[in-house]
Amino acid sequence: MHVIIAPDCYTGTLTAAQAAAAMAEGWGRTAPGDRLTLVPLSDGGPGFVDVLAESLDGEVHAVVTTDPLGREVPGTILLATGAGGRTAYVESAQAAGLHLLAPDERDPTRTSTSGVGTLVLAALDAGARRVVIGLGGSGTNDAGAGLLAALGVGPVARLGHGGLALAGTTPDDVAGGASISSSPATSTRRCSASRVRVLSSGPRRARPRRTPNGSRTRWATSRASWPGCVRPPRTC
């Protein structure tokens, strides 16, 4: 029998790769003659970039961003080149993840998505024409206002300090959004930033797909078409 083991990570306990390895070990003890294929997955949350990096022919770039409270943390972006130019894959949890906060810091009235905007800007600076954001495991609830502030839509003082600070937001605070164009011919960072797609974590039914030559199974979801992993990632 050929068994495919394709778990997501178990938040706070196991990465997707660790979970797959543990399942394989247990299965192997019971049915040692079965052929096992480990395919750790990500639904857009922690591990999104690592999973795609094992599947796509791209480059992982290390960057510095900020956590939900504005402290510097390491991050990565994955750049892949296709017919339409360079696409960047960004993992929001690297900047806005709940795991970056101590239990007594988990206050959504103060936490911000500004660091996600920093990752998007890094992707644009690296030449991306399209940015795909994996969303999940968030420790923020600011409606993406911090991200918008980082992209220049409005003042950081009003948009970049968590959900509570948005209570006094006025139309003038987001006036910069009117200048954002989705035209692919635009060249400024602000305009290019509008070519952003968000992949949100949540219940999805995975289904196998084959590449054009039919020789290799890829995984996609029923609600969003994005390349899944073919080989196991190093971390979640």
Give per-residue pLDDT as tens, 9-51: 887 788 888 899 999 999 999 999 999 999 989 889 988 998 8
Task: Using alpha carbons, list the distances in angstroms from residue 236 to 68, 111, 161, 162, 202.
Answer: 20, 23, 28, 27, 17
**Whole-angstrom distance, CA of residue 112 vs CA of residue 95:** 9
Considering only CA atoms, which of 93, 56, 8 is closest in space to residue 227? 56
Burial class (CB within 10 angstroms; exposed 0-12, middle 13-18, buried 19+) of 200:
middle
For residues 112 and 160, is the Cβ–Cβ distance under 8 A?
yes
**Does the global pTM surpass 0.95?**
no
> Which pLDDT score, from 0 to 100, does residue 49 have?
93
- Looking at residue 76, its pLDDT comes to 96
CA 93 to chain centre: 7
Residue 123 to residue 132: CA distance in whole angstroms: 10
What pLDDT does 180 receive?
A: 58
What average pLDDT does the structure give for the chain?
79
CA distance 133 to 144: 12
pLDDT in tens, 175-210: 887 665 443 433 334 433 334 555 555 433 333 333
> Nearest CA to 76 among 92, 87, 60?
60
Answer whether residue 66 shows pLDDT above 80. yes
Structure tokens at 18: 């660790």
**54 vs 53 pLDDT, higher one:** 53
pLDDT confidence of residue 198: 53
Given a cut of 50, is residue 172 above it in pLDDT?
yes
SS3 130: strand
- 155-177 average pLDDT score: 88
Q: With a cut of 60, say whether residue 215 has pLDDT above it.
A: no
Q: Would you mind telling me the total number of residues written for the chain in this entry?
A: 236
* Domains recognised in the chain with CATH numbers: 43-203 (3.90.1510.10)
What Cα–Cα distance (Å) separates residue 98 from each residue in 11, 92, 108, 139? Answer: 10, 11, 10, 4
What's the rounded Cα separation, in Å, for the pair 121 and 146? 13
CA-based nearest residue to 45, from 162, 233, 227, 199: 199
CA pair distance 68, 62, nearest whole angstrom: 19
Does residue 216 register a pLDDT over 80? no
The pLDDT of residue 30: 94
Q: What Cα–Cα distance (Å) separates residue 206 from each residue in 184, 198, 230?
A: 31, 18, 13
For position 175, what pLDDT does the model report? 83
| pLDDT score, position 197 | 53
